[in-house]
Amino acid sequence: MQKQAIFQSKLLPYALVAPQLAIVLIFFYWPALQAVIQSFLLQDAFGLSTSFVWFDNYIELFKDPAYFEAVVRTFFFSFAIAISSLSFALLLAVMADKPLRGSMLYRTLLIWPYAVAPPVVGVLWIFMLHPSLGVISRYLRAAGIDWNPLLDGNQAAGLIILAAAWKQISYNFLFFLAGLQAIPKSVFEAAAIDGARPMRRFWTVTFPLLSPTIFFLLVVNIVYAFFDTFGIIDTMTRGGPGTSTVTLVYKVYSDGLLGGNLGSSAAQSVVLMIMVIVLTGIQFRFVERKVTY
Amino acid sequence: MANVTLRNVRKTYTGGFEAIKGVNVDVADGQFCVLVGPSGCGKSTLLRMVAGLETVTGGEIDIGGRVVNQIEPADRDIAMVFQNYALYPHMSVYNNMAYGLRNRGMAEAEIKTRVEEAARVLELSAMLERKPRQLSGGQRQRVAMGRAIVRQPKVFLFDEPLSNLDAKLRIAMRVEIRKLQRRLNTTSIYVTHDQLEAMTLADVLVVMNGGQVEQVGNPLAIYEKPATTFVASFIGAPPMNLMSTRPDEIKSQLGGAAGEAGIVGIRPEDFVITDQTPAGGVALPLTVEAIERVGAETFVYGSREQEDQRVAATPGELPPGEIIVRIPGTEAPAIGQKIRVAAVRQKLHLFSGDGRKRIEA
């Protein structure tokens, strides 16, 4: 079997990959390059002159305690979102994996939230939890809880984590369900005969066998929490109150577009870019090694 | 050590499909019982019901004098060997075998003794640290066996454990399983669709078809006196030749009680090629259509002069009008040659016209 395609003309293969290359170059490499260049420049307050400042933007950035706070916050958000979303999705998947009546409907409904765009997710949760508009907020206040995420930074952070985790449950659920269904039923049956009760069966058989899926999803979820939560944050809190929900991505946007500090914003996006490359690298390395047990 | 008794066991799925239609089987302590039948006959379902992996919708399953219908698989004191082995892929061979013991809170020292003993018996001692994926099919099969024997359960259940192995290994493992069972003297129930496996392993053979038991008994007794045409054609390879009787042909030669018979069965090995007709026996003129030489024996496929003589299809059926004759050695008539085959009276099996009843005459 010849696996390599043979082309008569030398140009044809290039012509065939050209559209893809053009997209990647125009929409990825070019802006990325722009960001790198921008990160070495400093503009005056009125945008009249630009000077080349070498690594000043980066040095400034790493000295800034607000940036350090955003880094810590972003990591905290990411792990909180990833872990809560993963554990809840796994619970749902384990339950959906049982041969229940109407399980197809149940599964389909669980997958739907994935089709909802992040800003819409934000709006949805605002309707439920906005201090003056929210349905649930009324009950919370009635129950004597001082619920006001517009003023309380911790509550705002909790809200973001909740909404972002909710959005990601569907995706995780889908992978977990597929992962569970890839395990032969007889392995669970053997464990049942071997005297393992359901909880023990889960921790000694299901969980280890799902570990490759769990690891893959952990990376995907962290990347998601890093970047795709922008829409949710922007619609729900705009980084507030104060800076209590400003993540790295939101800081790039607010410093650059709202604050006008393009140099620092560009430097931040370059740092983010490096983080993504590292995360993706880790993911590829482990996904390539499919079996980790 | 326990006997297993199935009393009028039934399984009806929601939706009304009746997979098991009232099965009665009694397996005495230490016996090796084989459930055999074509695919879809309910044999695996029945085994899974004994294991507790399927609910029982009617009747009683009794293990060692205790009705286990409502008892969890873990508490039935059984061990099962699955067709795909169902080893825990993330555990070493040692842990695969130790898992069931650890779940029962056995001391590590005792576990070690038992696992090492099982590994020695199954020749797995050198592989205890390996993962299942590093083992060959036969080795995995032995680990699955080991996992069952370390538990020292009352009953072993085998669900087609050899069907994923190649032919040679299958025969070797078949002998191994029998030897092991004899030595441990543990009551066993074994499911297979392979009638040869069934014949060689069983103390008690249960032939199943369509969710029902066709016949229960000693394998040779079943071979010699099949109760129905289904059993007659399922047990024995190649299958028994079954012909509907016609007054002008066979029936007149038999007479007596045999006159009621609607179907006559003759095993391929009970035919001889001869020009004589034995007294009370039958003779058939055949045209040789095909020859299969397998070394020690030769199968002659012949068509009968009269068509439409064959009974409706059951497993391993031949096209209507075809008769298989087994002759020793490699000497065989030529294709197209007309021959006459005969069988003596004692070798005839007579059945009622619907094939459900054996007629002794």
Range of the domain at B274: 239-359
Name the region of A258 (left: φ>0; alpha: ψ -120 to 50; beta: rest).
alpha
- Last residue in a domain, options B174, B203, B229: B229
CATH number of the CATH domain containing B249: 2.40.50.140
| B61 and B82 housed in the same domain | yes
| B192 and B66 housed in the same domain | yes
Within-domain flag for A27: no
CA B48-B99-A290 angle, to 5 degrees, is 90
Q: Is the pTM of this model over 0.90?
A: no
Q: Name chain B contacts of A211, Cβ cutoff 8 Å.
A: 90
Chain B residue with CA closest to A184: the answer is: B86
Instruction: For residue B326, give every residue at least 6 positions away whose Cβ sits within 8 Å of its Cβ, in sequence order, or none.
Output: B238, B267, B268, B269, B271, B297, B298, B299, B300
Q: Name chain A contacts of B87, Cβ cutoff 8 Å.
A: 187, 190
Where do we find the tokens 């066979």? B250
Q: Name chain A contacts of B96, Cβ cutoff 8 Å.
A: none
Range of the domain at A70: 49-288
CATH number of the CATH domain containing B195: 3.40.50.300
- Please give chain A's pLDDT, 293 residues, in tens: 556 667 777 888 888 899 999 999 998 888 888 888 877 777 766 667 777 777 777 877 788 888 888 888 888 989 999 999 999 999 988 888 877 677 778 778 878 878 877 778 778 888 887 777 777 878 877 777 777 777 777 888 888 888 888 888 888 998 998 889 888 889 999 999 998 888 888 999 999 999 888 888 888 888 888 888 888 888 877 877 877 788 888 888 888 777 767 778 888 888 888 888 888 888 777 766 654 55
Among B72, B99, B134, pick the best mutation site for testing chain A contact (most A Cβ within 10 A). Answer: B99
Q: What is the ipTM of this complex?
A: 0.81
Within-domain flag for A215: yes
Helix (H, G, I), strand (E, B) or coil at B38: coil
| B51 and B83 housed in the same domain | yes
Q: Note whether A186 contacts B: Cβ–Cβ < 8 A.
A: yes
Within-domain flag for A239: yes
CB–CB of B82 and A186 under 8 A? yes
CATH number of the CATH domain containing A243: 1.10.3720.10
Looking at residue B308, its pLDDT comes to: 45
- Last residue in a domain, options B193, B208, B229: B229
Within-domain flag for A7: no
* Dihedral in degrees, nearest 10, Cα atoms A51, A54, A57, A61: -170
State how many domains chain A has: 1
Strands B263-266 and B241-244: antiparallel
Within-domain flag for B140: yes
- Last residue in a domain, options B179, B206, B229: B229
| B118 and B250 housed in the same domain | no
| B195 and B249 housed in the same domain | no
| B195 and B248 housed in the same domain | no
Helix (H, G, I), strand (E, B) or coil at A102: coil
Chain B residue with CA closest to A191: the answer is: B100
Q: Name chain A contacts of B89, Cβ cutoff 8 Å.
A: 187, 209, 293
CB–CB of A205 and B88 under 8 A? yes
Whole-number mean pLDDT of chain B? 86
Within-domain flag for A95: yes
Looking at residue B243, its pLDDT comes to: 81
State how many domains chain B has: 2
Helix (H, G, I), strand (E, B) or coil at B254: helix
| B13 and B111 housed in the same domain | yes
Q: Note whether A197 contacts B: Cβ–Cβ < 8 A.
A: yes
Within-domain flag for B234: no
| B114 and B136 housed in the same domain | yes
Q: Note whether A146 contacts B: Cβ–Cβ < 8 A.
A: no
Residue B304 reports pLDDT greater than 70: yes
* Eight-state DSSP code of residue A254: I
The DSSP H or E segment spanning A163 is helix A153-182
| B225 and B243 housed in the same domain | no
| B264 and B302 housed in the same domain | yes
| B102 and B174 housed in the same domain | yes
Residue B114 reports pLDDT greater than 80: yes
CB–CB of B90 and A187 under 8 A? no
Contact criterion met (CB below 8 Å) for B143 and B135: yes
Looking at residue B247, its pLDDT comes to: 47
Q: Name chain B contacts of A195, Cβ cutoff 8 Å.
A: 74, 100, 103-104
| B25 and B155 housed in the same domain | yes
Q: Note whether A279 contacts B: Cβ–Cβ < 8 A.
A: no
Within-domain flag for A260: yes
Closest C-alpha to B214, from B204, B229, B199: B229
Within-domain flag for A9: no
Looking at residue B311, its pLDDT comes to: 41
Within-domain flag for A42: no
* Dihedral in degrees, nearest 10, Cα atoms B159, B160, B164, B169: 120
pLDDT tens digits, B43-91? 999 999 999 999 999 889 999 888 998 998 989 999 999 999 999 999 9
